[in-house]
């Protein structure tokens, strides 16, 4: 939640406003958040007497009955919006389908929506007051920390969004008992990210227990030893704490030199370019491994540290290279991130292991040379540095079941609007012949029913002016 205080001063030619927003929200570690003996979540909704929950199909299929019984126990009426969100369907139509459910529910302005699922679900659904219950390693460790909510647009990750803190986040690591090993591995990458650049003791624990952590769902599966469980709890708590210490002074990402952006310089291209996208953890692992090679080439990272990082990625089954990672993709990723980061590369790299520095003075020649060296090094690793179960499937919140027409409608509208490197420069969007300015690559205009600066071709997120429910079309796709 947030509170805004401001002062207004009269000036010679008008007025001057100073506004200061206090952002306050809580994290609670609570195993068994939907166990009826744990009333903490229910107490958040007693005032309202009801709950609108947004979750993905996989989570609902596994936990829906338990969630329903939990709220029945506390006499709270429950309505569930079930969605399917993959990286390429993290879109305006998906967001608008959630808005439709809020409208149908009759949500009050300050009534919190309950968002249950992985990071993609919380990214899209957190555009109102909300309470967050993440269910994946990425959701628990990484997405739970940020207050950024966003959707992708065209070939750009998180192009349209806002900064909106949840009222409360409940961290229940027992969800990892049912999470596929591929998803445990996927989230493991985020812990490598934060520890290799900011918290060496956590990196040491990941290095020591790597295989056991992945095979036991961070110590939550039956048969896990107390030693692994204790190590996992320490890793998770320290990882979240370190992320919060780094991010809370910069919640709105006004400062663009961000330690937690290690692995996020070129990775968006890896997630969105392949026909079947790489999982987020694998995409950032390729970026981190390449960045480590770049740092080693500059003598910022010793040979021993470099090998240690690469070996940990390999042991975890995470990707360090991909056939489509070539000089062309490297150049496109560099051009895109320069716009997001105000003209500077700001590539976070470990220097030394457990600390971080940012690179700005890197030429295309140096980047390409580092890529060639990196690919040569990868030949000495299993699978030439490619990861295990690296590509999204149905466990990624039903990605393979998403409505293809909906995705095609959005892509067509995006191309028409110029977001695919046509008329959009990363900061401005054309609307009705006028340029509407955005902030940090996020466009925030809503004019005459058109969402975020897109003119006649995308009314309420739908292609060719087809609004929700008109002529049999729902959220931009044929019903």
pLDDT in tens, 210-244: 999 999 999 999 999 999 999 999 999 999 999 99
pLDDT score of 245: 94
Phi-psi sector, 472: left (phi>0), alpha (psi -120 to 50), beta: left
What does the pLDDT average to over 153-160? 80
Torsion angle in degrees (nearest 10) through CA of 242, 248, 251, 254: -90
Range with the poorest average pLDDT among 3-7, 12-16, 34-38, 241-245: 3-7
Give the per-residue SS3 of 423-442. CCCCCEEEECCEEEECECCE
Closest by CA position to 256, among listed 355, 178, 335, 358: 358
Q: Which residue in this structure is represented by tokens 């060719």?
A: 464
Find all residues with CB under 8 Å of 209, minimum gap 6, and list them: 228, 231, 232
Checking if the pLDDT of 253 tops 60, the result is yes
The stretch 348-358 carries a mean pLDDT of 97
Q: What is the pTM of this model?
A: 0.78
Instruction: Report the percent of the chain where pLDDT is more than 90.
Output: 63
CB 267 within 8 A of CB 325: no
In the block, which residue shows the tokens 């996989």?
58
Q: What is the phi/psi pair of residue 219, to 5°?
A: 80, 5
Spatial separation of the C-alpha atoms in residues 226 and 232, rounded to whole Å: 10
**CA–CA separation, 94 and 206 (whole Å):** 36
Which stretch of 272-281, 310-319, 466-475 has the lowest confidence by average pLDDT?
466-475
Q: Residue range 185-203: average pLDDT?
A: 97
Query: Residue 308, Cβ neighbours under 10 Å: how many?
Result: 16
Looking at residue 393, what is its pLDDT? 80
Across 92-96, 337-341, 419-423, the highest mean pLDDT is recorded for: 337-341
Q: What are phi and psi of 161, to 5 degrees?
A: -175, -165
The reported pLDDT for the residue numbered 289 is: 98
pLDDT winner (highest mean) among 152-166, 319-333, 459-473 = 319-333
> For tokens 């320290």, what's the residue?
238
């Amino acid at each position: 939640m947030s509170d805004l205080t401001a002062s207004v001063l009269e000036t010679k030619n008008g007025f001057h406003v100073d506004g200061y927003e206090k952002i306050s929200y809580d994290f609670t570690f609570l195993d068994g958040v939907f166990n009826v003996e744990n009333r903490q979540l229910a107490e958040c909704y007693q005032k309202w007497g009801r709950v609108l929950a947004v979750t993905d199909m996989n989570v609902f299929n596994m936990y829906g009955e338990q969630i329903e019984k939990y709220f029945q126990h506390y006499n709270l009426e429950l309505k569930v919006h079930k969605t399917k969100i993959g990286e390429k369907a993290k879109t305006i139509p998906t967001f608008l389908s959630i808005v439709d459910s809020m409208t149908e529910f009759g949500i009050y302005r300050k009534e919190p929506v309950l968002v249950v699922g992985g990071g993609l679900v919380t990214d899209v659904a957190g555009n109102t007051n909300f309470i967050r219950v993440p269910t994946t390693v990425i959701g628990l460790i990484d997405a739970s920390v940020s207050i950024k909510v966003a959707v992708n647009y065209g070939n750009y990750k998180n192009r349209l969004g806002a900064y909106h803190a949840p009222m409360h986040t409940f961290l229940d690591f027992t969800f990892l008992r049912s999470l596929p090993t591929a998803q445990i591995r996927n989230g493991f990458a985020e812990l490598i990210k934060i520890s290799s650049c900011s918290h060496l003791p956590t990196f040491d624990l990941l290095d020591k227990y790597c295989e056991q952590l992945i095979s036991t769902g961070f110590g939550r599966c039956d048969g896990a030893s107390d030693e692994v469980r204790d190590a996992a709890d320490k890793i998770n708590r320290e990882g979240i704490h370190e992320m919060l210490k780094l991010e809370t002074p910069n919640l709105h990402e006004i400062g663009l030199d961000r330690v937690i952006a290690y692995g996020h310089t070129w990775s968006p291209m890896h997630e969105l370019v392949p026909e079947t996208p790489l999982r987020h953890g694998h995409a950032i692992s390729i970026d981190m491994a390449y960045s480590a090679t770049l740092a080693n080439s500059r003598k910022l990272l010793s040979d021993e540290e470099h090998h240690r990082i690469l070996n940990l990625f390999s042991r975890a089954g995470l990707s360090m290279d991909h056939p489509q990672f070539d000089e062309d993709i490297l150049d496109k990723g560099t051009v895109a991130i320069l716009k997001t980061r105000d003209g500077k590369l700001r590539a976070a790299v470990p220097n030394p292991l457990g600390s971080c520095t940012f690179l700005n003075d890197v030429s295309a020649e140096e980047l390409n040379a580092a890529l060639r060296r990196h690919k040569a090094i990868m030949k000495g690793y299993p699978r030439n540095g490619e990861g295990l179960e690296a590509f999204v499937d149905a466990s990624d919140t039903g990605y393979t079941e998403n409505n293809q027409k909906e995705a095609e409608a959005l892509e067509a509208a995006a191309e028409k609007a110029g977001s695919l490197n046509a008329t959009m420069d990363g900061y401005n969007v054309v609307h009705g012949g006028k340029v509407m300015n955005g902030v940090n690559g996020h466009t925030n205009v809503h004019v005459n029913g058109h969402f975020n600066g897109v003119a006649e071709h995308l009314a309420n997120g739908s292609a060719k002016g087809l609004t929700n429910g008109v002529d049999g079309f729902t959220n931009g796709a044929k019903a």
